[in-house]
């Protein structure tokens, strides 16, 4: 298998994967969405809430606030040796919020949450939680835990996890009858007219919709759009909880563990 990185930054990872097959790509895609753990607020103790929003709505908003995750220092609650309902310092992070509108109406933002672990804080300080009118107060304690996307979407470390086939386009060697219909119809602007010829401008933007082939008045069209067998473009966009390459590494690790478990089960059945 060969992997070529097209784009990589704090939240986005785009790679070309060659010599892989669809079941493997799909398994990695699904594990990244549903099985790679990340931190999210799971329980909120309201100490004072005189805002107009109910406790439940504020708790829901806090749950959906992405938190930076320190995967190496925390256990999943079900795997933690403490086996406690309330958790322990190895499986729980406490965050507190104490806000009051002293001078007039103001918005409480995620940046006001104070975490006991500076590594586990909201990804962005600018997420609005509630608006307080003068003299209203919000005071609470929140407990964040590791969890998986299959339990609740708040534990999903990615907002995009997708792959597509690697496109393969062959353009006619010469412009046919001054027709540029194929280039004009493409919403992704994959094709462009260069002098007297239609050329591929941005191959990787092609989503294989076939509009260009259908727009061609000639049948069969001199332009062909196909996809390469066993080559894919994979796109992972993190919520900021984990670096996108870490999500992919964890996904491969989890797939390995699941296969080992499967093998063990098969052995037990044979006995």
Torsion of CA 135, 66, 143, 112, to 10 degrees: -30
Q: Which residues contact 44 (CB under 8 A, 6 or more apart)?
A: 55, 58, 59, 62, 140, 141, 142, 143
The Cα–Cα gap between 14 and 9 comes to: 9
Which residues in 71-215 belong to E strands, given as ranges? 93-100, 106-109, 114-115, 128-132, 137-147, 158-170, 191-194, 197-200
For Zn ion, the closer CB: 92 or 154: 92
Smallest gap, in angstroms, from Cβ of residue 73 to Zn ion? Answer: 12
55, 49 Cβ separation under 8 angstroms = yes
Q: Which is nearer to Zn ion, 42 or 251 (CB)?
A: 42
CB of 79 to Zn ion, least distance (A): 9
Nearest approach in angstroms of CB 82 to Zn ion is 3
Query: Between 93 and 158, whose beta carbon lies closer to Zn ion?
Result: 93
> Which residues from 173-202 bind Zn ion, rule CB under 5 A?
none
Scanning residues 112 to 131, which ones bind Zn ion (CB under 5 A)?
none
Give whichever of 64 and 82 is closer to Zn ion, judged by the CB atom.
82
Least distance from Zn ion to the Cβ atom of residue 76, Å: 9
Which lies closer to Zn ion via its Cβ, residue 76 or residue 114? 76
Euclidean distance between CA atoms 21 and 14, whole angstroms: 18
**Residues in 67-96 that interact with Zn ion by CB under 5 A:** 80, 82, 88, 90-91
Tell me if the bond preceding 220 is cis, omega within 30° of 0. yes
Q: Is 50 helix (H, G, I), strand (E, B) or coil?
A: coil
Shortest approach of Zn ion to residue 90 CB, angstroms?
5
Q: What is the smallest separation between the CB atom of 37 and Zn ion, expressed in angstroms?
A: 14
Specify the residue, 109 or 143, whose C-beta has the smaller distance to Zn ion: 143
Please give the size of the binding site for Zn ion, defined by CB under 5 A: 5
SS3 content of the chain, % helix, strand, coil (to 5): 25, 35, 40
Query: Which chain residues interact with Zn ion by CB under 5 A?
Result: 80, 82, 88, 90-91
């Amino acid at each position: 298998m060969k992997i070529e990185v097209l784009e990589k930054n704090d939240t986005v990872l785009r790679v070309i994967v060659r010599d892989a097959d669809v079941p493997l790509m799909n398994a990695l895609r699904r594990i990244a969405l549903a099985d790679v753990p990340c931190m999210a607020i799971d329980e909120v103790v309201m100490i004072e809430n005189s805002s107009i929003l109910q406790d439940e709505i504020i708790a829901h908003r806090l749950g959906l606030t992405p938190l930076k995750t320190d995967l190496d220092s925390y256990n999943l609650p079900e795997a933690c040796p403490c086996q406690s309902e309330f958790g322990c310092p190895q499986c729980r992070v406490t965050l507190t919020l104490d806000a009051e509108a002293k001078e007039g109406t103001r918005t409480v933002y995620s940046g006001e949450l104070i975490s006991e672990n500076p590594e586990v804080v909201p990804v962005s300080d600018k997420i609005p939680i509630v608006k307080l009118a003068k003299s209203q107060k919000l005071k609470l304690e929140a407990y964040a835990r590791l969890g998986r996307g299959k339990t609740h979407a708040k534990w999903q470390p990615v907002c995009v996890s997708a792959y597509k086939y690697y496109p393969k386009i062959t353009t006619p060697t010469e412009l046919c009858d001054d027709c540029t219909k194929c280039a004009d119809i493409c919403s992704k602007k994959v094709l462009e007219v260069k002098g007297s010829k239609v050329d591929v401008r941005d191959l990787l933007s092609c989503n294989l919709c076939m509009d260009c082939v259908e727009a061609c008045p000639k049948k069969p069209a001199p332009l062909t759009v196909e996809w390469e067998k066993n080559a894919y473009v994979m796109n992972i966009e993190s919520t900021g909880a984990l670096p996108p390459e870490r999500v992919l590494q964890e996904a491969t690790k989890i797939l390995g563990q699941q296969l080992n478990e499967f093998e063990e089960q098969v052995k037990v059945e044979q006995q």
